[in-house]
Amino acid sequence: MPLPSAQLFTHAELAQRQLSAAEQVDHLLARRGAVDHSGPELRTLIEVNPDAMSIAMERDAEARDGQARGPLHGLAIAIKDNIDTADDLLTTAGSLALTSTRPLQDAPLVARLRDAGLVVLGKSNMSEWANMRSPHSTSGWSARGGLTRNPWNPARNAGGSSSGSGAAASVGIVPLAVGTETDGSIICPASFNGIVGLKPTVGLLPTDGIIPISHSQDAPGPMSRSVRLVAALLDAMTGSDQYLAACADASLSGVRIGVVRDHFGDHAPTDAVAEAAVALLAATGATIVDPVPGVSLPAPAHDDEDEGLRVLLHEFEHGLTRYLAGRPAGGPRAVGDIVAFNRDHADVELAWFGQEYLEQAMVLPGLDSDAYRTALASIQRQARDDGLDAVFGGHEVDVLVAPAFPPASMTDLVLGDYGSGGACTSAPAIAGYPILSVPMGFVHGLPVGLAVTGPARSEALLLRVAGALETRLGLLADGALVPPTSTGG
C-alpha cells in the first residue's frame, strides 16, 4: 500500500509515496547498484543497512494498522558516517582507525528519526574527519569510502564534508539525508549537488553521539531535493510541527531581505543567476535591501595567527578525546592514537594528503588555556556582536542572501580542494546562526545554490523564503533538478 500522508507533498517531491516502504527500499537499493558501484561510480553510501528491508516491512505493517508515526513514516534516509547508530552499521568519520568497534547506542538524533518512522538505509560517505585532517584534503574522499563523485558530472566534486549525503539525495538513492556542518559542510554539497540543505542554529539539535569538530560550531541538519521535505525532516529531528507549516505561506510580504554584495564577485555567471533569484524574491512581496555589508574575519598572515583555526583545533582535540572515551574498548582513545594508526597505514590513509590538523591538535592544552579563550571570544565578537547582529539590526533585515558557491570544481586528489566562493558560511558558523542553501538555477548545466542566513532560531523563516523561491522557479515541477546520472537507475 502507498505510504500515508501523501497529501502533504507534491508528486514531484515524493514520487516514491506511491510505493510501500518495502518497495521503496527495493527500488532505492537497485538505484544505488546502478550508480554507486557501477555506471558513474558515485560512491554516495559507504555502507548499506542489512536490516533496512525488515524495518521497512515493520513500518508498512504499522501503516496498515493505522499507526503511522508522522508524515515521513516509512521513508528511507541516509545518515552521515560521523553519526552513531547502534546497529550493524559502523560509525567512522570515513577513517579506517574506527572500524574495529561500533557505537553502543544510537545518537539521540537517530533515535528521534527512528521514532518518526524513518528507515535508515545506510551511512553516507564523507570527507574523512569532516575535512579536519589536512589543509590539502580533497572533499568527498575517505580512506574507508573512497571518493564520492558529483552526479551532475562525476569528474566534479560533490563538496564536503557531507558529500555522500548531498550526492545520494540528489541522485535519488534516498529521498532524505542527514549531514553535519561546522563551516560549509552542508551548504557546499547542497549547492554543488542541486539540493536543499539546512544547517540549523547551533544547539537546536543534539550533537551527542556525533563525532565532533567544534562544540561551538557543529550542527547536524536535513538535506533533500525539496524545501518541504527538508522542513518535514527538521520537524522530525526536533519533534515539532512548525517547519513544514512555515512553507505554506508562498508570500513574503513583510519580509525584509538583505543582499550581501560583498559575497558576490567570485564567479560572474553564478552572480547573474543570483540576481535573477533576488528579483523573484522581490516578486513574492519581499522588501529587498540592497546592498548590506558582509561579515568577514580578517585573513591572518600566518596559521599561528589564525584565531578561527586555533579555536577549531582546541575544540577538536577536546571533543574527539571525549567522544572516543565513550566508544567500546579496542579502538583509539586519543587523537594521538589516530595519528599513529594513520602512520602505520600510510599507504591507504595518507595516500593523497597528510594529517597536519590531527598532529597540531594532539599537542594542544585544554579548553581552559588563555589562547583558546581569547581566540573564541574574539571571533565570536567579530562574527556575532559586531558582525551579523549589527547587520540584521542596523539595516533592519530579517534574512541575508548571497550566492552560496560557484558551480562544483573539478576533483583533484593530487592538489586537494581549490576554488573560491563560500565566504557566506563562515560568519554564521562562528556565530552559531542558521544558514540554508536552495537551488537557484544552473551555470553550464551545473546547479548553484542561493545561501539564506538568519539570526538564531530563524529556521522557519529561512524555509519560508527558500520555499517561495523554489515555487517561483518551478525546478521541481519540470524535472530540472534531476541529475543526468540518475537515469541509470
The residue from 80, 163, 165, 224 that is catalytic is: 80
Q: How confident is the model at residue 303 (pLDDT cuts 50, 70, 90)?
A: confident
Average pLDDT of the chain is 94
Q: Is the pLDDT of residue 9 over 60?
A: no
Task: For residue 170, indicate whether it is catalytic.
Answer: no
As beta bridge partners, residue 446 has 443
Predicted local confidence at residue 489, as pLDDT = 38
Q: Is residue 10 part of a domain?
A: no
Which three cell numbers mark 353? 594528503
Q: Is residue 305 part of a domain?
A: no
Q: Is residue 9 part of a domain?
A: no
257-299 per-position pLDDT tens digit: 999 999 999 999 999 999 999 999 999 999 999 999 999 887 8
As beta bridge partners, residue 157 has 149
As beta bridge partners, residue 450 has 403, 438
Q: Is residue 138 part of a domain?
A: yes
Task: For residue 80, indicate whether it is catalytic.
Answer: yes
Distance CA 141, CA 41 (A): 13
Q: How confident is the model at residue 487 (pLDDT cuts 50, 70, 90)?
A: low
Q: Name the pTM for this structure.
A: 0.96
Percent of the chain with pLDDT over 70: 96
Q: Are 247 and 463 in contact (CB under 8 A)?
A: yes
Q: How confident is the model at residue 5 (pLDDT cuts 50, 70, 90)?
A: very low
130-153 per-position pLDDT tens digit: 999 999 999 999 999 999 999 999
Q: Is residue 343 part of a domain?
A: no
**The CATH number of the domain where 402 resides is what?**
3.90.1300.10
Domain count, the chain: 1
Tell me the mean pLDDT in the region 390-409: 98
174-231 per-position pLDDT tens digit: 999 999 999 999 999 999 999 999 999 999 999 999 999 999 999 999 999 999 999 9
Q: Is residue 368 part of a domain?
A: no
Percent of the chain with pLDDT over 90: 91
Domain that holds residue 65: 19-295+393-488
Distance CA 34, CA 44 (A): 12
The residue from 139, 142, 161, 486 that is catalytic is: 161
Q: Is residue 101 part of a domain?
A: yes
Contacts of 78 (CB under 8 A, 6+ apart): 44, 45, 120, 121, 122, 123, 124, 164, 165, 168, 169, 173, 174, 176, 177, 178
Predicted local confidence at residue 486, as pLDDT = 67
As beta bridge partners, residue 199 has 435
Q: How confident is the model at residue 8 (pLDDT cuts 50, 70, 90)?
A: very low
Distance CA 268, CA 275 (A): 10
Q: Is residue 136 part of a domain?
A: yes
- What is the number of residues in the chain? 489
Q: How confident is the model at residue 347 (pLDDT cuts 50, 70, 90)?
A: very high
Task: For residue 185, indicate whether it is catalytic.
Answer: yes
The residue from 95, 134, 139, 185 that is catalytic is: 185
Distance CA 186, CA 191 (A): 9
Cell 540554508: give the residue: 436
Q: Are 336 and 330 in contact (CB under 8 A)?
A: no
Tell me the mean pLDDT in the region 376-390: 97
